[in-house]
Amino acid sequence: MEHRFFARRCRGHEAPGALALLICAGLATSVAQAANPQPYRVQWVSSGRDSVDSTLKLTSQLQALHGTAPVGPYGLIARARADVKRLRTVLESFGYYQGAVTITIDGRRLESLGLGKALEALPNGTDATVKIAASLGPLFHVGHIEVDGKVPAGIERTLGLPHALLGLASGAPAVAAEVLAAGERLQRRLQNAGYAQAKVDPPVAYEDPSRHVLNLKFQVTSGPQVRIGAIRIEGLEHVHASFVQRSLPIHPGQRYDAARIEQARQDLLGLGLFSSVTVRLGAADAKGLAPLTFLVRESKRYAFGINAAYSSDLGASGGVRWSDSNVFGGGQRLSASASAIDLGGTASTGAGYDARLEYDIPDFRRRGQTLGFSVAALRQTLQAYTQNGATAAATLTRRLSSEWVASAGTSYEHEQITQEGQYDQYNLVALPLSAQFDSTDLASPLLDPTHGMRLSLTVSPTLSTGASGAQLFVIVQGSAATYFDVHKLIAADPAGRTVLAARLIAGVAEGASQFGLPPDQRFYAGGSGTVRGYRYQSIGPQFPDGLPEGGTSMQAVNLELRQRVGAKFGFVLFADAGGVASGSSSVYRVGVGTGVRYYTSIGPIRLDFAVPTRQLANGGRFEVYIGLGQAF
């Protein structure tokens, strides 16, 4: 028997099959609405494969319309008959071409004479029992693979056609999605090799029932190989075309490569200047040059936002932020923010502020490199110390790949700090070097990671001058976070619903003693960023009056179980452990807690409640944290 993959030939007509039916099946079942709807309940008999069963239930109109689209007795029979064909298509899509679907209503087969009258005779409000059973039969495998059409010799040698269609080989299960994906991969490979008009049709499958195999024939049309001609940018209003052209990783004269062109489109979106970017390929000329047009729509240039957070140790904070994303037409970004902080928390002694002005120049000297300048003013009134400081910094950031980013910079800070009644002034000159790795595939750090890792390492050589003289020291800080989707272990658990998250953070200062370091350069633990359940900066060596001293090193471990519930809500269970050391003195503590999440388009809103496992002399019995985004 011959199959057009997902278009089965029957008596000279093509009827939807497999994926086409899975995707396109709607409410087109010919059902008759009766005056007295017939209620029913659905019973499923397992096929023996969880993945097949779940797809059957998602595809069944009997299941989907139960309780929402009532039908009369004959409408119910029609709906069930349509489901038989629909569900057999599901079995075929998994490679079970001799599978069977049996549906009975109150123990009667759908073909039974008098079934309709028997349903009409049921007392009003009595449920009919619809029982659905699927028998898989033998699993079909891929047999002979044939490619019909002219494939360029170089591509054929590279792919080893016909048996290595980028992942599909004879003997593999004849799963519909994988067979289609093989053709799509071959088409992409041709397009990436310069054959812009290449097309691979859905394969024709020839069924061999006795051997339980499907022999496949792929029809390939390569077309001519082309190179990129003139590149045009359309839709620009305030952004300069020259800047956009410099931002593209492709150039006229290069061989057409669909993957590189898609990366160029993504790069333009990544600039943050455009709300949409589409690509249009023109017809090739006699020289084989095809013009390329990027159609863009600029985003709003100005943005204004507000922020707010609360924790029982640091109190409330709130502020405003304004930005201009295209100051001079080249994507230069200017942003200003101001926040009131430390409003009423147990770890603070009064209100503070944090004000910043930042200016970034993208693609500085080369693509993917940004030069940034910033100035900031900060006031903190904490139990550990009171600080007033002003900072100026310049940082050069380079994106090394889609996952790696490195930066180097310089900063100057002038600050006045009072700790334990002693007032000192410091001038700090630092040369921070950092590297970050992120494989979570998220556009914003506020979004909810479900897989991948985040790594960071910062090394900051610092020269400090103050009342105690000059000190040269190096501060090293690092973190590693990983996210594991439980779906990988338990297929029945939907992807992204249950996530295990873990983080390790550590820091050390070398070259200066504990009190040779300015108080704000020492390490502290406790609070939402390290060990929840303990007041901010409360873990570590303490002065005789119980206030934090700060130390020369710090370590912390965070573990979380994140569970989504429904579309918008979730909860977490967590345990944090960490401590601070200075010389021979060290203090380590453990906190545990739970929290709820409300998921929004910009990230989850977080509410955490944590308790210490060991009460501190001047600590609270619990801490509460509210913010935007996951804890890490």
Query: What pTM was computed for the model?
Result: 0.75
Q: Token pair for residue 5? A: 């993959």
**In degrees rounded to 5, what are phi and psi of residue 51?**
-65, -40
Shared domain for 332 and 471, answered yes or no, is yes
pLDDT at residue number 20: 37
Distance in angstroms (rounded) separating the CA atoms of residues 454 and 445: 10
Among 192-206, 372-386, 419-433, the range scoring the smallest mean pLDDT is: 192-206
| Tokens matching residue 457 | 């390492």
Residue 237 identity: E
Structural domain of 176: 141-221
- Residue 231: the pLDDT is 96
607 and 471 in one domain?
yes
Looking at 382-538, which runs of residues are DSSP E strands?
386-399, 404-419, 422-430, 433-438, 452-466, 469-485, 498-510
Domain termination site, one of 298, 319, 346: 298
Is the same domain home to 96 and 216?
no
| Range name among 34-43, 119-128, 153-162, 311-320 with the lowest pLDDT average | 153-162
On whether both 200 and 53 belong to a single domain, the answer is no
Domain boundary among 117, 135, 153: 135
Q: Given pLDDT bands bounded at 50, 70 and 90, which one contains residue 587?
A: very high
Tokens of 373: 């300048």
pLDDT at residue 583, rounded to an integer = 82
Last residue within a domain, chosen from 135, 157, 176: 135
Contact 290, 282 (CB under 8 A): yes
Q: How far apart are CA 608 and CA 446, in angstroms?
A: 16
Give the CATH number for residue 259: 3.10.20.310
**pLDDT score recorded for residue 27:** 35
Strands 128-135 and 40-45 come out as parallel
Residues 203, 248 share a domain: no
520, 555: one domain: yes
% of the chain residues with pLDDT over 90? 78
- Both 202 and 260 in one domain: the answer is no
List b or e across 212-244, with b for residues whose CB sees 16 or more CB atoms inside 10 angstroms.
bbbbbbbebbbeebbbbbebebeebeebeeebb
**Given CA atoms 398, 454, 477, 544 in this order, what sign does their dihedral have?**
positive
Do residues 276 and 402 share a domain? no
Q: Which DSSP helix (H) or strand (E) runs through 259?
A: helix 258-270
What is the rounded average pLDDT of the residues 510-531? 95
The candidate with the shortest Cα–Cα distance to 502, out of 457, 556, 456, is: 556
CB 630 within 8 A of CB 606: yes
pLDDT in tens, 444-488: 899 999 999 999 999 999 999 987 788 999 999 999 999 999 999
- Under DSSP, the state recorded for 482 is E
pLDDT in tens, 73-127: 999 999 999 999 999 999 999 999 999 999 999 999 999 999 999 999 999 989 9
- Mean pLDDT, range 318-342, rounded to an integer: 97
Same domain for 377 and 338: yes
Query: In the chain, how many domains are there?
Result: 4
**Helices 73-93 and 176-192, axial angle in degrees (round to 10):** 50
Give yes or no for residue 358 having a pLDDT over 70: yes
* DSSP state at residue 566: T
Cβ atoms within 10 Å, residue 404? 14
What digits encode the pLDDT tens for the residues 233-289? 999 999 999 999 999 999 999 999 999 999 999 999 989 999 999 999 999 999 999
